[in-house]
């Protein structure tokens, strides 16, 4: 018999697995229905995609029935707000990745759905998030991060940083093995052989602190590199920030539905555009380092967080930088 906490954990995992996919479909279909194009929208869906949707829908109905009505309601409210934000009536919508349309390839970037109008096409990024949480926008491998997102920074900086990461990895590994009375042989084979976990969340408190300190040292180095870059190339930094915030394309519209599920008493929908972000970029600040595993930019009313995390297991140097954003509603004086 599973206890209540295990059931809740499994339900949360199921919710996180399927909510985004079902939400995208429901919003795209809702937009198509509002512009009288629902049948055409349904007829163009890829059979494989429909099969996956059907499996997800059955999972929800069987294991988490209250999620179905929640997502339907969330999608309806999102469609209503989205449609009212447009200057003209949409003519059709499509779910991205389920169609082969090369003419739109360069415009997709972070888009989940494409909405077409008589005069233009708008790629829309859809997120469904818990109230007050950061919204994930980008994730990049740490050993190519500066090269990819801050290409104006000398390539030697990336190379030196990669060596620093390797050195800090070995320091962390040695400290973990030493704390657990083990010899460090240059890899985690003895650690795994002893049956110790490779997942951060399953470590004891002291071992987890060793790991946190390791990520904090890497974050401090990232902060130092970005601080130097900010002082020497402020305009280039401003150009590099929007893609990290989910705006690789100037055409992207971000739509976030915030909730308190399973409670239905609260919802909030934010819609952000590149033009709105552009007005905030002159206020960009790199905040002082706080000795944690993340670096933070303040961009007007936006907060951009760059967090160092393992790809999955902490026992390799495969580390990623997760970018996430929170928008602070401006206060009304």
- The 3-state secondary structure of the chain reads CCCHHHHHHHHHHHHHHHHHHHHHHHHHHHHHHHCCCHHHHHHCCCHHHHHHHHHHHHHHHHHCHHHHHHHHHHHHHHHHHHHHHCCCCCCEEEECCCCCCHHHHHHHCCCCEEEECCCCEEEEEEEEEECCCCEEEEEEEHHHHHHHHCCCCCHHHHHHHHHHHHHHHHHHHHHHHHHCCCCCCCCCHHHHHCCCCCCHHHCCHHHHHHHHHHHHHHHHHHHHHHHHHHHHCHHHHHHHHHHHCCCCCCCCEEEEEEEECCEEEEEEEEEEEHHHHHCCHHHEEECCCCCCCEEEEEECCEEEEEEEEECCCCCCCCEEEEEEEEECCCCCC
Per-residue model confidence (pLDDT) at position 177: 96
* pLDDT, tens only, 32-65: 999 999 999 999 898 888 898 898 888 888 888 8
* pLDDT, tens only, 234-258: 999 999 999 999 999 899 999 999 9
* pLDDT, tens only, 214-238: 999 999 999 999 999 999 999 999 9
pLDDT tens digit at each of 333 positions of the chain: 456 666 666 667 667 778 888 999 999 999 999 999 999 999 989 888 889 889 888 888 888 888 888 999 999 999 999 999 988 999 999 998 654 343 454 556 689 999 999 999 999 999 999 998 999 999 999 999 999 999 999 999 999 999 999 999 999 999 999 999 999 989 999 999 999 999 998 999 999 999 999 999 999 999 999 999 999 999 999 999 999 999 998 999 999 999 988 777 889 999 999 999 999 999 999 999 998 999 999 999 999 999 999 988 999 989 999 999 999 865 433
pTM, entire model: 0.87
Per-residue model confidence (pLDDT) at position 30: 95
For the beta carbon of residue 114, count every other beta carbon within 10 angstroms: 20
Angle at 58 between CA 56 and CA 63, to 5 degrees: 95
């Amino acid at each position: 018999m599973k206890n209540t906490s295990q059931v809740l954990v499994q339900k949360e995992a199921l919710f996180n697995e399927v909510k985004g996919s079902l939400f995208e479909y429901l919003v795209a279909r809702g937009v198509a229905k509002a512009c009288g194009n629902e049948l055409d929208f349904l007829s163009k869906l890829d059979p494989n995609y429909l099969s996956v949707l059907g499996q997800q829908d059955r999972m929800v109905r069987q294991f988490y029935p209250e999620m179905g009505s929640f997502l339907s309601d969330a999608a309806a409210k999102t469609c209503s707000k989205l449609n009212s934000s447009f200057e003209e009536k949409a003519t059709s919508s499509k779910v991205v990745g389920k169609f082969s349309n090369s003419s739109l390839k360069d415009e997709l970037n972070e888009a989940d759905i494409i909405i077409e109008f008589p005069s233009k096409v708008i790629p829309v990024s859809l997120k469904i998030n818990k109230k007050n949480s950061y919204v994930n926008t980008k994730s990049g491998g740490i050993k190519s991060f500066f090269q990819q997102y801050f290409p104006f920074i000398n390539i030697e900086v990336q190379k030196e940083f990669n060596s620093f990461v390797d050195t800090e990895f070995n320091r962390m590994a040695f400290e973990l093995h030493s704390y657990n009375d083990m010899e460090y042989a240059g890899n985690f084979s003895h650690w795994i052989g002893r049956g110790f976990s490779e997942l951060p969340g399953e470590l004891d408190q002291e071992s987890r602190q060793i790991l946190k300190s390791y990520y904090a040292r890497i974050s401090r180095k990232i902060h130092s590199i970005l601080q130097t870059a900010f002082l020497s190339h402020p305009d280039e930094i401003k150009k590099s920030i929007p893609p990290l915030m989910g705006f690789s394309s100037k055409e992207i519209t971000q739509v976030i539905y915030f909730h308190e599920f399973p409670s239905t008493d609260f919802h909030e929908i934010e819609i952000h555009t590149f033009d709105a972000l552009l007005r905030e970029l002159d206020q960009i600040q790199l905040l002082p380092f706080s000795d944690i595993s993340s670096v933070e930019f303040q961009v007007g009313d936006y907060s951009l967080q760059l967090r160092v995390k393992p790809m999955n297991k902490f026992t390799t140097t495969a580390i990623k930088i997760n970018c996430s954003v929170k928008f602070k509603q401006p206060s009304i004086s």
